[in-house]
Amino acid sequence: MTPTNSVPAPGGQTAKTTLAALQQWVNDSASLCKADSVHWCDGSEEENQRLTEMMLETGDLSELNQNKYPNCYLHLSDPSDVARVEHLTFVCCENEDDAGPNNHWMAPTDAHQKIDALFDGAMQGRTMYIIPYCMGPIDSPYSRLGVEITDSPYVVINMRLMTRMGSQALARIEQEKTFVKGLHSTSDLDPNKRFIMHFPEELSIKSIGSGYGGNALLGKKCHALRIASWQARQEGWLAEHMLIVGLESPEGDTHYVACAFPSACGKTNLAMLIPPASQPGWKIWTLGDDIAWLHLDDEGVLRAINPEAGYFGVVPGTNAKTNKNAFDMITSDTIFTNVALTADNQPWWENKAEGEPVTDWQGREYDPANGKAAHPNSRFTVAARKNASYSSLADAPDGVPISAIVFGGRRKELAPLVYEAKSWRHGVLVGAGVASETTAAATGSVGVVRRDPMAMKPFCGYNFADYWNHWLSLDNGTNKLPKIFHVNWFRQDKEGNFLWPGFGENLRVLRWIIDRCDSNVAAVETPIGLLPNSKDIDITDLDLLDGAIDALTSIDVAQWQAEMASVAEYLESYGDRLPKALQEELETVVKALRAA
Ligand code: SAT
Ligand code: MN
């Protein structure tokens, strides 16, 4: 029986959904892209098996050593397609000012015309997969739905790990009748015909010419950050580039913290940190490693859910010391992208601390003259539930209450190990002023300092000035909002030695943050915020360089004057839309620095 209210599917197939708007969009996309056939994904294990076998046959995947790495596979991207492409990423809203200087903009009609011409016939000879997905726990009021149409089976098997995908999601879509539409084709992977376009007013995304991560797994950065941030502003919540972690003290109290760091700055490592021997009794619970959706509840408490269900993590550097949870988790049921291989077909990457590469990420015989064996932005995809520190509240429909928001970046100089903002309003300025050295997660040069407000530079789907205003508007006058902090794990001395060991030892800094939230410890007031007394950071058993802890817990006034001048210049580039309150906060800091 044909479902009521349905639109017939093309090619004499029966309709696959009771939601006419969805069936119509699938039909229209199939005719535009001239797909050979249409497959509606149910998310089952059997479907996953079939796709995996098919990809092994076509060479899209290869099998890794199944004794050592059961159910693990390797995918090698086209060498020109290994990272997000910010210069080809557009926000296409009616009014250019709504996209802001932080986004590339194109008028929606022009954008559709340009990209639809590229989609025309792009799926000839290919199957078009329909992926219904839910971002967030399937029964959470905070979750949002989407459907990605793609011609990439690699995208399907990744989306199955990264989201709640398949029949249950489709049932909720049919009930709610709203969802984000994402159309994706790898087409011919020509970088000159590659675009990632967002239409926030239409709740839709069109992405062509790339099969890689953030460009192709549309639930992630495109939906859960760019489109969701736009919706969140209209609806009074926040969609942020943040990990969510629970810190349980030896006494059994758990505080939840949300941290915003740019891509490839250690969010995954922090989210699944293992307490070092020097911190007995502490436990860490992972809720998310990349994205947080934050809502104020009826009591004025900020609650977080992780919209994702898996990790798409940077592989190089992962070992039993840096991130044992991840290292263990990725020995089974994992998709590796762009890593190297050992002689016995195990995946290999720089700083794996075992084995040797024989084949590099391009499938060539490994030769150091060609550069790294694994691509610096090579990734693992794995289900979050496999993590030994997976929080029992990661699926809670109401999420978890957030005690602290922590901003950070990679700064060789300037930024102390940790400081606390004086107020929510000052915290918004601290977030807006975040800067970081660029990494391999996006194409372009690596190691250049750039402003990356709230670690959202590549991901905020609207004008940053309006975004800061929105952040300021959450100040609800209660004292229940999280405290805001800034951390920097990456300080170096003049010789380039790191001043702080990082990784598991970062717990020592998080403990100070929690103590501040609980009013258990005093702090030193400085022009830029509240710094720890150096004695209040536990450094027992750490082999720090002479003077390191003092350098890490103090500020250089002259350097900070220059920094605030640069922040001012940056903020002023947002013109009239820049919130007055932010300017006032900035002036307060500048004055205090002058008086210092
Ligand atoms: O490529 S992704 O956007 O998925 C990863 C990242 O840059 O954080
Ligand atoms: Mn990220």
Task: State yes or no: pLDDT of 3 exceeds 50.
Answer: no
Cβ-based neighbours of 49, under 8 Å, separated by 6 or more: none
pTM of the model: 0.97
Q: Reading across the β-sheet that carries 335-337, which strands appear in turn? A: 62-63, 73-75, 335-337, 379-383, 310-314
**421-447: average pLDDT:** 93
Nearest ligand (C-alpha, residue 380): 1
Task: Please tell me the distance from the alpha carbon of residue 463 to that of residue 350, in angstroms, as a whole number.
Answer: 38
Q: For ligand 2, a single-atom ion, which residues have Cβ within 5 Å?
A: 263, 290
- By C-alpha distance, which of 537, 444, 471, 473 is closest to 499? 537
Q: Which amino acid residue places its CA nearest to atom 1 of ligand 1?
A: 214
In the residue annotation, 93 being an active-site residue is answered as no
Mean pLDDT, rounded, of the chain: 96
Q: Is 361 exposed, middle or buried (0-12, 13-18, 19+ CB in 10 A)?
A: buried
Nearest ligand (C-alpha, residue 381): 1
CA 48 to the chain's CA centroid: 24
**32-61: average pLDDT:** 98
Ligand 1, residue 215: give the atom nearest the CA: 1
Instruction: Using most ligand atoms within 8 A of CB, pick from 82, 84, 268 the residue to mutate for ligand 1.
Output: 84
Pairing between strand 104-105 and 89-91? parallel
- By C-alpha distance, which of 74, 152, 157, 62 is closest to 338? 74
pLDDT of residue 1: 42
Ligand 1 lining (C-beta closer than 6 Å): 84, 213-214, 220-221, 263, 312, 441
Catalytic-role residue among 92, 222, 265, 460: 265
Distance 492 CA to ligand 1 centre (A): 26
Distance 148 CA to ligand 2 centre (A): 20
pLDDT of residue 277: 92
pLDDT tens track for 539-558: 999 999 999 999 999 999 99
Ligand 1, residue 441: give the atom nearest the CA: 7
pLDDT category of residue 574 using cuts at 50, 70 and 90: very high
Task: Please tell me the distance from the alpha carbon of residue 258 to that of residue 292, in angstroms, as a whole number.
Answer: 8
Task: State yes or no: pLDDT of 328 exceeds 50.
Answer: yes
Q: Where in the chain is the domain with CATH 3.90.228.20?
A: 240-309+393-595
Determine the residue type at 317.
G
Task: Please tell me the distance from the alpha carbon of residue 289 to that of residue 267, in angstroms, as a whole number.
Answer: 6
Instruction: Using most ligand atoms within 8 A of CB, pick from 148, 240, 312 the residue to mutate for ligand 1.
Output: 312
Nearest ligand (C-alpha, residue 84): 1
Q: What are phi and psi of 569, to 5 degrees?
A: -60, -45
Ligand 1, residue 83: give the atom nearest the CA: 1
Instruction: Using most ligand atoms within 8 A of CB, pick from 207, 221, 243, 335 the residue to mutate for ligand 1.
Output: 221
Distance 263 CA to ligand 2 centre (A): 5
pLDDT category of residue 442 using cuts at 50, 70 and 90: confident
Percent of the chain with pLDDT over 70: 98
Note whether 508 and 544 are within 8 A (CB): no
Cβ-based neighbours of 227, under 8 Å, separated by 6 or more: 180, 198, 200, 203, 205, 461
Task: Please tell me the distance from the alpha carbon of residue 165 to that of residue 169, in angstroms, as a whole number.
Answer: 6
Distance 353 CA to ligand 1 centre (A): 24
Nearest ligand (C-alpha, residue 260): 2
Instruction: Using most ligand atoms within 8 A of CB, pick from 196, 225, 261, 263 the residue to mutate for ligand 1.
Output: 263
Q: What is the Cα gyration radius of the chain?
A: 24
pLDDT tens track for 301-314: 999 999 999 999 99
Q: Is 393 exposed, middle or buried (0-12, 13-18, 19+ CB in 10 A)?
A: middle
Task: Please tell me the distance from the alpha carbon of residue 420 to that of residue 518, in angstroms, as a whole number.
Answer: 13
DSSP state of 482: P
Task: Please tell me the distance from the alpha carbon of residue 93 to that of residue 109, in angstroms, as a whole number.
Answer: 10
pLDDT of residue 11: 63
pLDDT category of residue 497 using cuts at 50, 70 and 90: very high
Distance 162 CA to ligand 2 centre (A): 13
pLDDT tens track for 62-91: 999 999 999 999 999 999 999 999 999 999
Task: State yes or no: pLDDT of 265 exceeds 80.
Answer: yes
CA 274 to the chain's CA centroid: 21
Angle at 206 between CA 295 and CA 122, to 5 degrees: 155
Q: Where in the chain is the domain with CATH 2.170.8.10?
A: 310-386
pLDDT of residue 6: 61
For the four alpha carbons of 410, 415, 417 and 421, in that order, the dihedral sign comes to: negative
Distance 135 CA to ligand 1 centre (A): 16
- By C-alpha distance, which of 464, 382, 461, 459 is closest to 221? 459
pLDDT of residue 14: 76
Q: Which amino acid residue places its CA nearest to atom 6 of ligand 1?
A: 263
pLDDT of residue 383: 98
pLDDT of residue 381: 98
CATH of 6-60+86-235, one of 3.30.1230.10, 3.40.50.410, 3.40.449.10, 1.10.3720.10: 3.40.449.10
Residue 585 burial (CB count, 10 A):
23
Task: State yes or no: pLDDT of 5 exceeds 60.
Answer: no
Percent of the chain with pLDDT over 90: 94
Q: Which amino acid residue places its CA nearest to atom 4 of ligand 1?
A: 214
Task: State yes or no: pLDDT of 578 exceeds 90.
Answer: yes
Q: Is 449 exposed, middle or buried (0-12, 13-18, 19+ CB in 10 A)?
A: middle
Task: Please tell me the distance from the alpha carbon of residue 210 to that of residue 192, in angstroms, as a whole number.
Answer: 11
Give the helix/strand (H/E) hosting 407.
strand 404-408
Task: Please tell me the distance from the alpha carbon of residue 457 to that of residue 261, in angstroms, as a whole number.
Answer: 11
pLDDT category of residue 329 using cuts at 50, 70 and 90: very high
pLDDT category of residue 390 using cuts at 50, 70 and 90: very high
Q: Which amino acid residue places its CA nearest to atom 5 of ligand 1?
A: 214
Ligand 1, residue 212: give the atom nearest the CA: 1
Q: Where in the chain is the domain with CATH 3.40.449.10?
A: 6-60+86-235
pLDDT tens track for 461-477: 999 999 999 999 999 88
Distance 154 CA to ligand 1 centre (A): 16
Q: Class of 240-309+393-595 per CATH?
A: alpha beta
50: Cα within 13 Å, side-chain hemisphere: 8
Structure tokens of 207? 């992405």
Structure tokens of 553? 């817990």
- By C-alpha distance, which of 396, 430, 227, 423 is closest to 297? 396
pLDDT category of residue 2 using cuts at 50, 70 and 90: very low
Q: What are phi and psi of 333, to 5 degrees?
A: 50, 45
pLDDT tens track for 26-46: 999 999 999 999 999 999 999
- CATH topology for 310-386 is Phosphoenolpyruvate Carboxykinase; domain 2 (2.170.8)
**364-375: average pLDDT:** 98
pLDDT of residue 7: 75
Note whether 149 and 183 are within 8 A (CB): yes
